[in-house]
């Protein structure tokens, strides 16, 4: 029993160490935006990746490649040039990748199968023996300031289990090894780099198409040698980054001669290199700042001091939300110790033209500034001040009553521990403080059954189920429509009297109380006191739709109401009761829907008496399309194509989003005859709603299993289609598209398969797993793993080109096939 308790304790400790994000083991403090960008990054044909597990020779390989690309330039000649040519994909993020100097190499610690793939890009994979990686990683890991410190025994367990930042060493090794024969992949071992360095350099030069003469080989052998690099890279990097950290302290020093201020000398480099890397912090700061200001919304104008303005990016991020949306008038005083920095800030803020904004810039002189402010903001300054206690004291003296101090910084700066600042703040009479990092933690508490343990898990499941039933009843009764038409706050009793209804006012009130808890409607009388003080609250308490509630009106373009009615309605409940039988007997008696209703889902919707259900089903598909559409256009570049066909595209929601963004693209909505007729009859239709010219889209009726009815094009979308069918039918669909494009000449077509794909070690898989059960019981189909999709593609004569992850539930497979006049009919 004791050993079991110890095991449980270790498991609990392990679960608290790191976070699993999209299947990647990650440190929460590193942020999620850049990691998710890295997984969905659209590779360029000229991209060169250096793919390694941490401590496997990454820096060494970077230096070899850097020397080859710069004709043998040592790293320390231009530190900035090195970093700008070698951004770290999952750490540095979008701006650094998009603005990197080329030629260069993108560094990544993602396993090879998770690195965005392009057959024209090139990938250098470096592997190293696990013993040396483990020991080196242990030493390096414990130098990081923002991770829980581990003794070697515990670290070794995590290493073996694959539970360390960037994931499983053995998975990364296997992933690289399996792709060693790809034409655009070069696999190199660390040990080979040590013992056969010249051969490795020659091999790399040939791989990246660099002409290697004797002079260049000599330089690379010298400047990229292990002996030359040992210590120098880290020394130069610390020197480079240390200048910025040390000079942040200069924000409190007055300087008459700006040329002597190192902060000014480094200004342009700071703006070019560090500002993009800190964007996540700026965005988070702006989010909580605006949220807090709006919660204290008692005035139209704010006096704002931005202390340590730097190049202006942090304060600009806040002002864009406050001023651009005309929420407030802002009088800003921006201050910094560097005139050069202020000139960069002035140039940046000048772009934000608004009559609601007045800005003055001045050099720091704390003694002469006697103004008081509603808000003081400071970013990446407070923890690094030489006397942060005095700085805090000055800030609070300059705050008006009920003023706000907004300070943002990383949670573990070495100079001043974060919590010591919080303790110091408690010594002063601060009216309010926004601490960005702490706010992140405190506002992300989610009471989900997935996050709870013990009996609480099951109680949460039950309560969530009851909440779902309440939301379904709210939609089924059309209460959102009644409230929207009333156009004023309304009580439960008043709702019951509308349109001749004779509902039970007390029961309706009790339903509305739950719907208000879900923030679908708002209780306008909720003043913090218990509503039971009213003997008849149904006659007194008024409710009003929230923005989310408006989505549940019948005429809302999102069709969210019908999505709820379909998936939480009585038919869905009835299907569920047959699920145990399906587990016991398989499909002997049909799937759950067939057992419940005596026919398939699609046959059921064809019957006249089920016409309303069919309309609800089709409208719910529109809701899912709206949810997916913005994600699709955000990750796929459709400028490559001339004509795009949305196969079984419903009413055209997704296609209209794509055509709206890509003005030179022609779209074809393809579906069964009755669906196309419904799409045409909409007034306005989805394309007209977005003012898309009628010459840019077509409605074509047909059958995706009959290739002769499918229009020829260079790209196709299959959105939530393949998961409806078994493997045989899925292959038939893919081959039909291929055969529809037989030509006299060779032609390449692209198919985008948009589904909830089950990915390896992905914490979001639970959603795909749940949907898989829905497909299993509802129509006898399935959600698939990536390997299962690859098998389908191979059997249909397609090749996987790239996998895209989106911010939503789905992933996108880009597959290509080549057709000619000899392409065989799938029939």
The total number of residues written for the chain in this structure: 827
Number of C-beta neighbours around residue 237 at 10 A: 16
Q: Which residues contact 544 (CB under 8 A, 6 or more apart)?
A: 483, 489, 490, 521, 522, 524
- Angle at which helix 58-69 crosses helix 214-223, to 10 degrees, equals 150
Strand partners, 358: 331
Number of C-beta neighbours around residue 533 at 10 A: 8
From CA 625, how far away is CA 756, in angstroms rounded? 13
Annotate 245-310 with DSSP letters as a single string. HHHHGGGGS--S-GGG-HHHHTHHHIIIIIHHHTHHHHHHHHHHHHHHHHHT---SEEEEEEES-T
Task: Tell me the chain's radius of gyration from C-alpha atoms.
Answer: 30
Query: Is the peptide bond preceding residue 103 cis, with omega within 30 degrees of 0?
Result: yes
3-state DSSP of 613-655? HHHHHHHHHHHHHHHHHHHHHHHCCHHHCCEEEEECCCCCHHH
| 645 in Cβ contact with 713 (< 8 Å) | yes
Strand partners, 302: 330
| 498 in Cβ contact with 591 (< 8 Å) | no
Closest alpha carbon to 757 in 816, 815, 803, 807: 803
Closest alpha carbon to 411 in 763, 114, 27, 111: 27
Annotate 362-396 with DSSP letters as a single string. EE--TTT----EEEEEEES-GGG-TTHHHHHHHHH
Closest alpha carbon to 43 in 93, 97, 111: 97
Tokens of 124: 């250098």
Burial class of residue 272 (count of CB atoms within 10 Å of its CB; 0-12, 13-18, 19+): middle
CA angle 281, 285, 289 (to 5 degrees): 175
| 723 in Cβ contact with 776 (< 8 Å) | no
Tokens of 397: 């003296």
| 305 in Cβ contact with 272 (< 8 Å) | no
Active site residue 447: no
| 699 in Cβ contact with 680 (< 8 Å) | yes
From CA 25, how far away is CA 33, in angstroms rounded? 14
| 366 in Cβ contact with 397 (< 8 Å) | no
Annotate 247-259 with DSSP letters as a single string. HHGGGGS--S-GG
State the DSSP code for 556: -
Catalytic residue among 88, 109, 356, 388: 109
Closest alpha carbon to 31 in 384, 282, 389: 282
Specify whether the backbone of 590 is left (phi greater than 0), alpha (psi in -120 to 50) or beta.
Answer: left
3-state DSSP of 168-203? CHHHHHHHHHHCCCCCCEEEEEHHHHHHCHHHHHHH
Closest alpha carbon to 553 in 542, 541, 565, 543: 565
* Residues catalogued as catalytic: 109
């Amino acid at each position: 029993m004791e050993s079991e308790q110890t095991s449980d304790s270790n498991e609990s400790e392990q679960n608290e160490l790191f976070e699993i994000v999209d299947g990647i083991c990650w440190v929460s403090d590193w942020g999620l935006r850049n990691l998710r960008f890295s997984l969905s990054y659209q590779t360029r044909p000229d991209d060169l990746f250096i793919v390694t597990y941490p401590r496997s020779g990454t820096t060494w390989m970077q230096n070899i490649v850097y020397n080859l690309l710069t004709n043998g330039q040592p790293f320390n000649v231009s530190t900035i040039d090195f970093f700008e040519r070698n951004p770290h994909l999952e750490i540095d993020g979008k701006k650094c990748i998009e603005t990197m100097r080329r030629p260069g190499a993108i560094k990544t610690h993602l396993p090879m199968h998770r690195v965005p793939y392009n057959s024209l890009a090139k990938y250098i994979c470096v592997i190293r023996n696990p013993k040396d990686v483990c020991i080196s990683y242990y030493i390096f890991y414990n130098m990081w300031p923002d991770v829980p410190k581990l003794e070697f025994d515990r670290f070794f367990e995590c290493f073996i289990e694959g539970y360390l930042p960037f994931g499983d060493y053995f998975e990364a090794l296997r992933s690289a090894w399996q792709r060693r024969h790809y034409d655009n992949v070069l696999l190199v071992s660390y040990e080979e780099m040590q013992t056969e360095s010249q051969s490795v350099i020659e091999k790399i030069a040939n791989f990246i198409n660099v002409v290697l003469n004797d002079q260049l080989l000599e330089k690379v052998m010298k400047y990229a040698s292990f002996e030359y690099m040992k210590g120098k890279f880290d020394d130069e990097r610390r020197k480079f980054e240390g200048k910025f950290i040390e000079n942040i302290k200069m924000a409190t020093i007055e300087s008459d001669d700006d040329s002597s201020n190192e902060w000014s000398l480094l200004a342009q480099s700071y703006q070019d290199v560090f500002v993009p890397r800190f964007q996540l912090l700026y965005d988070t700061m702006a989010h909580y700042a605006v949220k807090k200001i709006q919660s204290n919304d008692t005035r139209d104008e704010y006096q704002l001091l931005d202390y340590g303005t730097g190049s202006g990016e942090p304060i600009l991020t806040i002002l864009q939300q406050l001023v651009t949306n005309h929420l407030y008038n802002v009088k800003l005083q921006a201050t910094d110790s560097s005139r050069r920095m202020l000139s960069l800030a002035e140039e940046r803020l000048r772009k934000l033209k608004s009559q609601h904004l007045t800005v003055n810039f001045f050099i720091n002189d704390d003694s002469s500034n006697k103004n008081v402010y509603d808000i003081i903001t400071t970013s990446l300054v407070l923890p690094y001040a030489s006397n942060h206690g005095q700085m805090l004291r000055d800030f609070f003296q300059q705050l008006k009553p009920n003023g706000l101090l907004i300070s943002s910084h990383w949670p573990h700066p070495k100079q001043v521990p974060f919590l010591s600042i919080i303790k110091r703040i408690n010594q002063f009479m601060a009216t309010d403080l926004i601490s960005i990092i702490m706010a992140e933690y405190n506002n992300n508490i989610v009471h989900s059954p997935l996050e709870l343990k013990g009996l609480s898990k099951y109680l949460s499941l039950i309560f969530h189920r009851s909440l779902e039933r309440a939301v379904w009843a709210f939609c089924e009764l059309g209460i959102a429509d009644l409230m929207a038409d009333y156009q004023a706050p309304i009580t439960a009793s008043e709702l019951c009297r509308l349109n001749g209804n004779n509902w039970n006012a007390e029961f309706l009130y009790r339903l509305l109380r739950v719907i208000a808890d879900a923030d679908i409607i708002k209780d306008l009388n909720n003043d913090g006191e218990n509503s039971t003080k009213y003997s008849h609250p149904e006659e007194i308490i008024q409710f009003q739709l929230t923005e989310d509630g408006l989505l549940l009106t019948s005429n809302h373009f999102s069709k969210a109401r019908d999505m709820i009615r379909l998936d939480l309605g009585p038919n869905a409940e009835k299907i569920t009761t047959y699920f145990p039988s399906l587990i016991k007997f398989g499909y002997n008696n049909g799937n759950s829907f067939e057992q419940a209703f005596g026919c398939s889902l699609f046959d059921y919707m064809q019957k006249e008496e089920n016409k309303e259900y069919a309309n609800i089903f089709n409208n719910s598909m529109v809701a899912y399309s709206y949810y997916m559409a913005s994600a699709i256009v955000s990750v796929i570049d459709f400028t490559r194509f001339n004509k795009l066909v949305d196969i079984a595209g419903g009413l055209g929601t997704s296609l209209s989003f794509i055509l709206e963004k890509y003005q030179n693209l022609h779209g074809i909505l393809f579906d069964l005859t009755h669906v196309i007729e419904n799409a045409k009859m909409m007034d306005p239709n989805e394309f007209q709603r977005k003012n898309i010219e009628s010459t840019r889209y077509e409605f074509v009726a047909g059958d995706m299993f009959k290739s002769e009815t499918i229009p020829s094009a260079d790209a196709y979308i299959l959105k939530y289609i393949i998961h409806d069918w078994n493997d045989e039918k899925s292959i038939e669909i893919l081959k039909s598209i291929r055969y529809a494009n037989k030509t006299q000449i060779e032609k390449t077509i692209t198919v985008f398969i948009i589904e909830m794909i089950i990915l390896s070690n992905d914490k979001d898989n639970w959603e795909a797993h749940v949907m898989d059960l829905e497909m299993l019981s509802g129509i006898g189909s399935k959600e698939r793993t990536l390997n299962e999709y690859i098998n389908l593609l191979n059997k249909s004569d397609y090749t996987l080109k790239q996998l895209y992850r989106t911010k939503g539930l789905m992933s996108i497979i880009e597959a290509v096939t080549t057709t000619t006049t000899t392409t065989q009919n799938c029939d």
